């Protein structure tokens, strides 16, 4: 009986040690995860591109359509590549550009931002890989370091319903995946790298631009 009692003690000690190791390992993983999250928060990724919008004029008439150019500047030392951005609709696979506007100093009973109704399209990337590489080579924008790409004139999603100062705003979302995000983006970046370019990842916003909205000549 004594021998059984002595043999049981090491087993219990091993079980206790194993349990302690599991707790320590779990705690370590949790700490590493929190540390990683803190590092991401303290050191967010730097945008690869800079967006600038240029309206076709500085003064508009009530309810007039607003058109603006958008310029994308490559801030990195690598060639960036992306499809021509979709405009006014959300198309994740190609990336999209949205230009909106809002009153600078709206009345109390009015919203500052104009209403936005964006139609969205979900779809996967081109497959197989050979076809995607061919698409990148032949039809995607290739933007060298410090170079600017001018997106064709875009109509802003705005209803100039009041006279006064308005702010034009724009955002650009680079191409991304709608499904199986991590693996899909890894596939996209890998195939772009084989072509010799990098796909931008960071959603960016342009500095707002002020324009004036005046009543029609016969109402002045």
93, 175 Cβ separation under 8 angstroms: yes
HSE (CB half, 13 Å, CA atoms) of 122?
A: 4
Domain that holds residue 19: 1-44
164, 105 Cβ separation under 8 angstroms: yes
pLDDT level of residue 91 (50, 70, 90 thresholds)? confident
pLDDT of residue 80: 98
Mean per-residue pLDDT over the chain, rounded: 79
Residue 114 has pLDDT above 80, yes or no: no
My answer on whether 30 and 117 are in the same domain is: no
- Residue 161: which CATH number? 2.60.40.10
Q: How many domains does the chain have?
A: 2
My answer on whether 1 and 82 are in the same domain is: no
Lowest mean pLDDT among 29-43, 58-72, 111-125, 168-182: 29-43
User: Where is pLDDT greater, at 203 or 63?
Assistant: 203
| Residue among 72, 64, 131, 128 nearest 96 (CA) | 72
């Amino acid at each position: 009986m004594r021998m059984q009692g002595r043999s049981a003690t090491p087993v219990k000690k091993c079980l206790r040690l194993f349990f302690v190791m599991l707790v320590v390992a779990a705690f370590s993983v949790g700490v590493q995860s929190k540390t990683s999250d803190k590092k991401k928060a303290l050191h967010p990724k730097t945008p690869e591109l800079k967006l600038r919008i240029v309206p076709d004029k500085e003064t508009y008439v009530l309810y007039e359509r607003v058109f603006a150019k958008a310029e994308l500047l490559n801030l990195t030392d690598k060639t960036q590549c992306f499809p021509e951005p979709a405009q006014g609709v959300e198309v994740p696979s190609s990336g999209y550009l949205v230009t909106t506007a809002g009153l600078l100093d709206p009345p109390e009973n009015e919203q500052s931002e104009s209403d936005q109704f964006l139609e969205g399209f979900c779809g996967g990337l081109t497959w197989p890989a050979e076809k995607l590489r061919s698409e990148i080579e032949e039809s995607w924008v290739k933007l060298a370091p410090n170079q600017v790409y001018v997106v064709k004139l875009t109509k802003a999603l705005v209803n100039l319903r009041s006279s006064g100062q308005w702010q034009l705003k724009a955002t650009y979302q680079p191409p991304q995946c709608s499904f199986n995000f991590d693996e899909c983006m890894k596939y996209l970046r890998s195939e772009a790298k084989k072509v010799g370019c990098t796909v931008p990842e960071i959603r960016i916003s342009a500095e707002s631009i002020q324009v004036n909205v005046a009543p029609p000549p016969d109402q002045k």
